[in-house]
A and B are shown apart, each in its own frame.
Chain A
Amino acid sequence: MAEVLVLVDHAGGRLRKATAELLTAARRLGEPSAVHIGPGSEKAQVTLAKYGAHKVYVVEADDAGSFLVAPQAEVLAALVARTSPAAVLVPSNAAGKEIAARLAVKTSSGLITDAVDVQRGEHGIETTQSVFAGSYTVTARVSHGTSIICLKPNSVAIEAAPEAGTVEQVDVTISDAAKAARITDSQPKKSTGRPELTEAAIVVSGGRGTGGDFGPVESFADSLGAAVGASRAAVDAGWYPHSSQIGQTGKQVSPQLYVAAGISGAIQHRAGMQTSKTIVAVNKDEEAPIFELVDFGVVGDLFSVLPQAADEVKKRKG
């Protein structure tokens, strides 16, 4: 059966949720081999095996993490040459897409980014993407070389399917050219105790209507165990960091539930959340475009509605 390489997404000594999703998806396409670059592979191996890795290629390359993107692309290119896989799956975040981009050029392969689904179909490995701010659905395939596919978080329901996860140490010398962009400092994002935006099942976002006070948004989010997002207006006003921005130039999320509070729903924002499974909005203006998208909407002041909703949620949750 065809081998499928899966780039392991890890940070701060922990596997990120995307890894289990990629492995689950890879199982549909062939036999997954996880590729772990950098330190921490011993701890990771058990989890990688649990989600279906037949093999775990361990590439110590301790310095790989000090340089931006290029070393990972080099390692994957070396493995592609060695294993001739059917596909390489990579997380669809900024770094993942850039790694995939360089890998595509190195291996003369096509690449597909922001896939929300991947399956074996009549044309081979087929992807689904949601494009033009979520207004169109596109199916596609790579037609040359190895299928390099970047999969969005929250696209695949994780399923355990234990395999051997046999470790194979791989030596790859990182070229000097790949060390041209050095990461000289890394400040981890302050933990809020809330889930990460692209991984969260529920996202509650605040916009201009908060007037800068995200208290009600945060309390409501906490009642649901949700992540907190912000509209571009809120970020530009300095009320919330850019890392929380949902939209065309921020993050694109597709959670089970998206709640937009005090957000009018301009296309810039819709591009970031339009494919969420259930959408709810609270806005004083009943003409706000966001209401065209909602499964449920409240025309009202978020400063009254959200606290009441948070109390009710907590009561019901016991």
Chain B
Amino acid sequence: MNIVVCVKYVPDAQADRTFNDSDSTVDRDAVDGLLSELDEYAVEEALKIVEAQGEGEVTVVTVGPAAAADAIKKALQMGAHRGVHVEDEAIHGSDAVATSLVLAEAVTKTTDGSPELVLTGMSSTDGDMGVVPAMLAERLGLPQVTYASELSLGDGTVTIRRDGDVASETVEGSLPALVSVTDQINEPRYPSFKGIMAAKKKPVDTWSLADLGVDASQVGLDAAWTEVLSFAKRPPRTQGELVTDEGDGGTKLAEFLAARKFL
């Protein structure tokens, strides 16, 4: 089975992320970027499936600026076979709706219109919306089998366990399908030295909007259907009172809660 994994290059969540004053978009230059941690689980799952089946290839697709090539590189180092990088200045400032449009076109083009299985992470670690997988399913007309903490392939079907707030569901979709995975599904491998060296020779296609037949007017900041009105750094919380337990720590805690009317 050939699998397409959609991944994102994001600012490091451990660093101080910020916005551009000029256009209120995420400042992707200010901090180092990397393959979104949640996407590693999707890459790993794709690799496991292909390894278990003994055939098939994993293609990693990303939409992003030049530096996003690093996200593809990491996935190739883990073992993915080829990459697709959609890069076009016009895409800067795109909202989720436009991003899903470009991704859907890239998935269609790279699979000649016949995807077998499309995998994604559960959400990015920067936008944190968790909406692009559902939008991809909508656009590609594929069963949406999302938030998988467990996954198994059957005869022409994919079955997952999806853990929600109130219940744990078993969801089944026929293949081809769009599947998103959570960080509970597996443990992503670290690239081996062999994998790192092999990645250098793996093919990566770079496509522009024109290659996908997407008009610039459909994407980018001006085409976005949401608008940031303002952004402000929250004043950092200042440390309140700190006490050391000398046999009375619990009592002092209860006193604090009482004073703040939590009892």
Contact = CB atoms under 8 A, between A and B. Distances in A.
B237 A297 contact: no
B33 interface: no
B56 interface: no
B144 A180 contact: yes
Given A102-B135, A131-B128, A184-B172, A295 B225 contact: no
Contacts of B135: 101-102, 104-105
A291 B141 CA distance: 48
A130 B234 CA distance: 9
A280 B256 contact: yes
Given A138-B231, A185-B169, A313-B254, A98 B131 contact: yes
Nearest to A299: B244
Contact of B147 (A94, A110, A280): A94
Interface string B172-195: 111001000011100000000000
A106 B138 contact: yes
Interface string A268-284: 10010010001110100
A313 B128 CA distance: 37
Contact of A294 (B122, B126, B240, B252): B240
Contacts of A69: 134, 144, 146
B163 A242 contact: yes
Contacts of A145: 225
A133 B128 CA distance: 10
Interface string A285-316: 01000011111111111001111111111001
A233 interface: no
A312 B254 contact: yes
Contact of A101 (B18, B134, B145, B174): B134
A105 B139 contact: yes
A180 B174 contact: yes
Contact of B130 (A94, A102, A106, A109): A94
Given A69-B144, A136-B231, A136-B232, A296 B226 contact: no
A82 interface: no
B209 to A, nearest CB: 19
Contacts of A278: 260, 262
Given A135-B234, A184-B171, A312 B250 contact: yes
A304 B251 CA distance: 11
B262 A180 contact: no
* Interface range, B side: 35 or more
B225 A110 contact: yes
Interface stretch (A27-35, A39-47, A154-162, A186-194): A186-194
Contact of A139 (B162, B183, B230): B230
B228 interface: yes
A143 B227 contact: yes
Nearest to A187: B168
A243 B138 contact: no
B177 to A, nearest CB: 8
A238 to B, nearest CB: 11
Nearest to B14: A267
B170 A298 contact: no
B12 to A, nearest CB: 10
Contacts of B184: 242
Nearest to B157: A182
B38 interface: yes
Interface stretch (B43-51, B74-82, B92-100, B200-208): B92-100
A215 interface: no
B243 interface: yes
Contacts of A97: 129-131, 134
A202 B262 contact: yes
Interface string A88-120: 000001110111111011101111111000000
9 contacts: A97-B130, A135-B16, A143-B227, A248-B13, A278-B262, A294-B240, A298-B243, A299-B243, A312-B251
In the A-B complex, the 3 residue pairs with the smallest Cβ-Cβ separation, listed nearest first, are A308-B250, A300-B245, A110-B225
Given A111-B96, A134-B234, A308-B248, 18 more contacts: A11-B167, A101-B138, A102-B135, A105-B138, A110-B225, A130-B234, A133-B13, A136-B231, A184-B171, A243-B163, A243-B165, A248-B125, A282-B253, A292-B237, A296-B243, A305-B245, A305-B249, A316-B254
